[in-house]
């Protein structure tokens, strides 16, 4: 090793030591704020039904139809199990700083001494499964205490949880002053919650079970300390649990009680409720009637033309559920959440509803807006800003979901845009770091990653992993995130290597992809993009958009590598030239859709424009002229972002403003009475439009005062 290399190595070691020093010092000085990993004393507990079930591998490549069918058939054997656990314990005194550490598979709601405490966990894979920590001192008392848990195993193969794998259980510790006050073991009691049955209406893409809640079931009020659980069975320990538990990097959800803005009795048997805006959460009400009387509850995001609520939603969800009374005063208890604004209650004769009890329990991540709107005072722009900000405030859950109704999917493509917006508005980048890690972990399914993380539904969209590369320079520019990104550079490089070795042709560009390339969604918003990109088949055409994303990902990687002082990914210039040689039309000075088509579309030009892939100034100006002419009438969810970002980068602020405040885009949603961003410019933009969808919140990015576009400039 020569002297120069030795000096470089020493310099790097010194920098790492310095970094470690700065990382350790805050932990030593401010240990109470540090999050250290908890080693559970408690054991995973479950029921007799799950004790001896073999764990099922639900993961496979998307095009492996045989495996997909096998997994779905196995999952159907056990579904929709609401399982309760209880434990009483004594305390000689009220402890200070008592911490509850808990996790559950699939999910759980926890009560102490009859009071709701928390719910979770954030979804994850068994080899990196999340647990949460919460201070429960205020819930505890001297003497006898009761903890009650409502756990849930859904069993669907969907985008919500890693379910259908026969894994169910709950684990917890309560620790105070380094002493274990409580832990899960076989002394806990369990029972099936028979109040919850399937209401037989499908919600979304097997996203959730519609609930029929029977208030006369013996398990009702199981959370109260006075409840008698003497007939319950002892919990069983999970045999050979294969979880590796990790602390959730994000805080627990927060809850708000939303009272109706309007209540109207349509008839003696029908009540209409408007909560004033769209929320995500649970409906709550109390009613009195005869035992067996059944109330029908309906929920909707919009109204029909006759003023009734559209509970058979355009997002292919039927929000129709039931509430059967016990003969006493009963309160509706819903487990799973929905996104809605309106409710209708259909009553049997002689049932009385407590109008003061009608409420919506909103759930969302803690949200604190720290960015400012540079268009403050401009009514048109402020309406768009407020729509986007409110959507993120009330829409973001334990992880970024595309919509809160049809899928509840943790999508990488949608999520890249949404997480960027969320973090820039709140100046909190922990959610971005989590998203990156969550999706990098999906490499165990496929080296090129999958579309939805932390779930059992398998889909592969070709450009989604490449879109995530756009987040790299954002973190690279942040001193506090440089080391985080440096530690993951090899994983990002491996994704590029995967695309190169799997799909690169002789000229280096990609073709023959067995991953679906969406380009823009839905199909009718692709401006006639002349490539057969049908989902579920191999695309043999060498086409523009996937290669623009591929080269853009390499550019984002190399920009980050330069900032971090790491080696760059090779052949960027050669690939850029191959892109020009293959897709550039020198006569029209615009880009074609593919190597075999002369068609020129909006997506085939705005993606390269955003990536800085244009061979000359005339081409750049022609693309801007195309945008100025067509505005955003040819594209929607995915291509609108690079369109606006490219213009913002090039100083075309007047045109950016016009796109953001165009009556055909975000303001079209507002004209459709939106209180949350839609899955398109208007309600009928696609056949199953979700009216609470987070992807299009990214308009707010380009309204932030002093926004530094350099973090998105990968030229």
Does residue 2 have a pLDDT over 50?
Answer: no
Distance (Å, whole) CA 316 – CA 688: 6
Helix, strand, or coil here: 155?
Answer: coil
- Closest among 78, 76, 74 to 105, alpha carbons compared: 78
Q: Say what the pLDDT of residue 101 is.
A: 98
Does residue 19 have a pLDDT over 60?
Answer: no
- Closest among 82, 172, 190, 187 to 136, alpha carbons compared: 172
- Closest among 513, 518, 696, 511 to 607, alpha carbons compared: 518
Beta strands at 359-364 and 270-284: parallel, antiparallel or unpaired? antiparallel
Q: Are 174 and 135 in contact (CB under 8 A)?
A: no
User: CA-CA distances (angstroms) from residue 292 to 209, 287, 330?
Assistant: 22, 13, 12
Q: Name the burial class of residue 583, with classes exposed (0-12), middle (13-18) and buried (19+) by CB atoms within 10 angstroms of its CB.
A: buried
Distance (Å, whole) CA 538 – CA 516: 8
Distance (Å, whole) CA 348 – CA 269: 6
The band of 35, judged by pLDDT with boundaries at 50, 70 and 90, is low
Beta strands at 107-112 and 352-353: parallel, antiparallel or unpaired? unpaired
Contacts for 430 with CB less than 8 Å, ≥ 6 apart? 249, 250
Name residue, tokens 């054997």: 77
CB atoms within 10 A of CB 654: 9
Name residue, tokens 């943790």: 410
pLDDT digits (tens, 9 = 90+) for 365-391: 999 999 999 999 999 999 999 999 999
Q: Name the burial class of residue 630, with classes exposed (0-12), middle (13-18) and buried (19+) by CB atoms within 10 angstroms of its CB.
A: middle
pLDDT digits (tens, 9 = 90+) for 97-107: 999 999 999 99
- Of 22 and 207, which is predicted with more confidence? 207
- Give the angle 540-413-643 at the CA atoms, nearest 5°: 90
CB atoms within 10 A of CB 348: 15
The band of 715, judged by pLDDT with boundaries at 50, 70 and 90, is confident
Q: Say what the pLDDT of residue 28 is.
A: 28
CB atoms within 10 A of CB 425: 25
- How confident is the model over 670-676, as a mean pLDDT? 97
- Kindly report the average pLDDT of the chain as a whole number: 94
Query: Is residue 121 reached through a cis peptide bond, with omega within 30 degrees of 0 on the bond before it?
Result: yes
**What percent of the chain has pLDDT above 90?**
93
- How confident is the model over 243-249, as a mean pLDDT? 97
CB atoms within 10 A of CB 355: 13
The band of 437, judged by pLDDT with boundaries at 50, 70 and 90, is very high
Distance (Å, whole) CA 168 – CA 146: 22
Q: Say what the pLDDT of residue 467 is.
A: 98
**What percent of the chain has pLDDT above 70?**
95
- Give the angle 338-389-256 at the CA atoms, nearest 5°: 45
The band of 1, judged by pLDDT with boundaries at 50, 70 and 90, is very low
pLDDT digits (tens, 9 = 90+) for 124-179: 999 999 999 999 999 999 999 999 999 999 999 999 999 999 999 999 999 999 99
Does residue 649 have a pLDDT over 70?
Answer: yes
Q: Are 405 and 690 in contact (CB under 8 A)?
A: yes
Helix, strand, or coil here: 674?
Answer: coil
H-state helical runs in 409-543: 412-426, 430-440, 464-468, 472-476, 482-503
- How confident is the model over 280-306, as a mean pLDDT? 98
Specify the pTM. Answer: 0.93
pLDDT digits (tens, 9 = 90+) for 174-216: 999 999 999 999 999 999 999 999 988 779 999 999 999 999 9
User: CA-CA distances (angstroms) from residue 365 to 398, 422, 429?
Assistant: 7, 11, 14
Q: Are 122 and 194 in contact (CB under 8 A)?
A: no
Q: Are 174 and 99 in contact (CB under 8 A)?
A: yes
Beta strands at 320-324 and 208-214: parallel, antiparallel or unpaired? parallel
Q: For 631, left (φ over 0), alpha (ψ -120 to 50), or beta? A: left
Distance (Å, whole) CA 360 – CA 47: 32
pLDDT digits (tens, 9 = 90+) for 605-637: 999 999 999 999 999 999 999 999 999 999 999
Q: Are 609 and 572 in contact (CB under 8 A)?
A: no
Phi and psi, residue 269, nearest 5°: -115, 10
Q: Are 454 and 162 in contact (CB under 8 A)?
A: yes
Q: Say what the pLDDT of residue 73 is.
A: 94
Contacts for 679 with CB less than 8 Å, ≥ 6 apart? 315, 402, 403, 637, 685, 686, 689, 690, 691, 693, 695, 696
Compute and round to an integer the Cα radius of gyration of the chain: 27
Distance (Å, whole) CA 354 – CA 288: 8
pLDDT digits (tens, 9 = 90+) for 504-536: 999 999 999 999 999 999 999 999 999 999 999
The number of angstroms, rounded, from the C-alpha of 586 to the middle of its chain's C-alpha atoms is 42
- How confident is the model over 265-277, as a mean pLDDT? 97
Does residue 651 have a pLDDT over 70?
Answer: yes
Q: Say what the pLDDT of residue 23 is.
A: 32
Distance (Å, whole) CA 419 – CA 401: 10
Distance (Å, whole) CA 125 – CA 6: 42
pLDDT digits (tens, 9 = 90+) for 386-423: 999 999 999 999 999 999 999 999 999 999 999 999 99
- Closest among 335, 78, 388 to 199, alpha carbons compared: 335
pLDDT digits (tens, 9 = 90+) for 326-360: 999 999 999 999 999 999 999 999 999 999 999 99
> What is the C-alpha end-to-end distance of the chain, expressed in Å?
35
For the residues of 585-630, what is the DSSP string, one character each? Answer: ETTTTEE-SBTTB----SHHHHHHHHHT--SSHHHHHHHHHHHHHH
Q: Say what the pLDDT of residue 200 is.
A: 84
Does residue 503 have a pLDDT over 60?
Answer: yes
- Closest among 423, 417, 503, 504 to 464, alpha carbons compared: 417
CB atoms within 10 A of CB 120: 20
pLDDT digits (tens, 9 = 90+) for 474-488: 999 999 999 999 999
Distance (Å, whole) CA 342 – CA 344: 7
Does residue 78 have a pLDDT over 70?
Answer: yes
Q: Say what the pLDDT of residue 6 is.
A: 39
CB atoms within 10 A of CB 629: 10
Q: Say what the pLDDT of residue 15 is.
A: 37
């Amino acid at each position: 090793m020569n002297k120069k290399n030795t000096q470089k190595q020493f310099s790097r070691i010194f920098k790492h030591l310095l970094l470690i020093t700065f990382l350790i010092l805050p932990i030593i000085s401010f240990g109470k704020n540090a999050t250290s990993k908890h080693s559970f004393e408690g054991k995973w507990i479950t029921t007799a039904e799950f004790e001896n079930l073999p764990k099922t591998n639900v993961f496979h490549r998307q095009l492996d139809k045989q495996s997909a069918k096998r997994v779905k058939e196995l999952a159907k054997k056990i579904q929709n199990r609401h399982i309760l656990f209880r434990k009483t314990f004594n305390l000689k005194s009220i402890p200070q700083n008592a911490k509850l550490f808990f996790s559950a598979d699939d999910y759980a709601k926890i009560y102490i001494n009859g009071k709701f405490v928390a719910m979770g966990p954030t979804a994850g894979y068994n080899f990196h499964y999340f647990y949460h920590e919460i201070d429960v001192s205020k819930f505890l008392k001297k003497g006898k205490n009761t903890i009650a848990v409502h756990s849930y195993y859904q069993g669907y193969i969907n985008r919500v949880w890693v379910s259908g794998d026969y894994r169910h259980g709950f684990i917890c510790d309560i620790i105070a002053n380094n002493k274990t006050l409580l832990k899960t073991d076989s002394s806990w009691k369990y029972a099936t919650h028979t109040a919850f049955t399937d209401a037989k209406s499908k919600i979304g893409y097997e996203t959730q079970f519609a609930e029929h809640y029977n208030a006369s079931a013996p398990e009702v009020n199981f959370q109260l300390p006075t409840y008698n659980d003497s007939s319950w069975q002892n919990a069983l320990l999970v045999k050979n649990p294969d979880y590796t538990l990790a602390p959730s990097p994000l805080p627990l959800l927060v809850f708000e009680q939303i009272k109706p803005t309007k209540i109207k009795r349509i008839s003696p048997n029908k009540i209409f409720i408007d909560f004033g805006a769209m929320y995500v959460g649970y409906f709550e009400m109390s009613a009195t009637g005869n035992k067996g009387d059944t109330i029908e509850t309906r929920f909707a995001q919009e109204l029909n033309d006759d003023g009734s609520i559209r509970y058979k939603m355009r997002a292919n969800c039927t929000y129709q559920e039931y509430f059967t009374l016990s003969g006493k005063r009963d309160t509706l208890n819903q487990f799973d959440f929905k996104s809605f604004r309106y409710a209708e209650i259909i009553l049997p004769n002689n049932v009385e509803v407590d109008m003061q009890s009608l409420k919506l329990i909103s759930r969302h991540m803690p949200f604190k807006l720290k960015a400012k709107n540079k268009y403050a005072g401009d009514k048109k722009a402020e309406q768009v800003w407020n729509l986007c900000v409110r959507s993120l405030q009330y829409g973001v859950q334990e992880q970024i979901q595309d919509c809160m109704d049809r899928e509840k999917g943790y999508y990488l493509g949608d999520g890249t845009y949404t997480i960027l917006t969320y973090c820039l508005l709140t100046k909190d980048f922990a959610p971005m770091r989590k998203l990156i890690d969550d999706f990098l972990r999906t490499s165990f399914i496929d080296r090129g990653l999958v579309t939805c993380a932390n779930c059992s539904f398998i889909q592969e969209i070709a450009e989604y992993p490449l879109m995530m590369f756009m987040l790299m320079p954002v973190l690279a520019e942040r001193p506090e995130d440089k080391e985080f990104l440096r530690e993951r550079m090899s994983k990002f490089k491996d994704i590029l290597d995967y695309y190169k070795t799997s799909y690169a042709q002789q000229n280096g560009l990609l073709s023959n992809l067995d991953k679906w390339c969406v380009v823009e969604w839905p199909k009718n918003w692709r401006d006639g993009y002349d490539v057969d990109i049908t989902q579920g088949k191999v695309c043999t055409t060498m086409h523009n958009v996937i290669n623009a994303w591929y080269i853009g990902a390499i550019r984002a990687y190399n920009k980050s590598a330069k900032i971090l002082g790491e080696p760059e990914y090779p052949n960027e210039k050669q690939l850029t030239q191959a892109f020009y040689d293959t897709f550039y039309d020198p006569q029209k000075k615009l880009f074609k859709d593919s190597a075999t088509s002369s068609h020129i579309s909006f997506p085939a030009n705005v993606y390269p424009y955003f990536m800085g892939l244009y061979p000359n100034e005339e081409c750049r100006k022609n693309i801007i002229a195309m945008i100025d002419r067509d505005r955003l009438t040819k594209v929607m969810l995915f291509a609108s972002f690079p369109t606006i970002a490219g213009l913002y980068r090039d100083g075309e602020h007047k045109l950016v403003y016009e796109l953001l405040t165009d009556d055909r885009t975000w303001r079209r949603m507002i004209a459709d009475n939106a209180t949350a961003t839609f899955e398109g410019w208007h309600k009928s933009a696609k056949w199953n439009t979700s009216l609470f969808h987070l992807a299009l919140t990214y308009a707010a990015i380009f309204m932030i005062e002093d926004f530094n576009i350099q973090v998105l400039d990968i030229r």
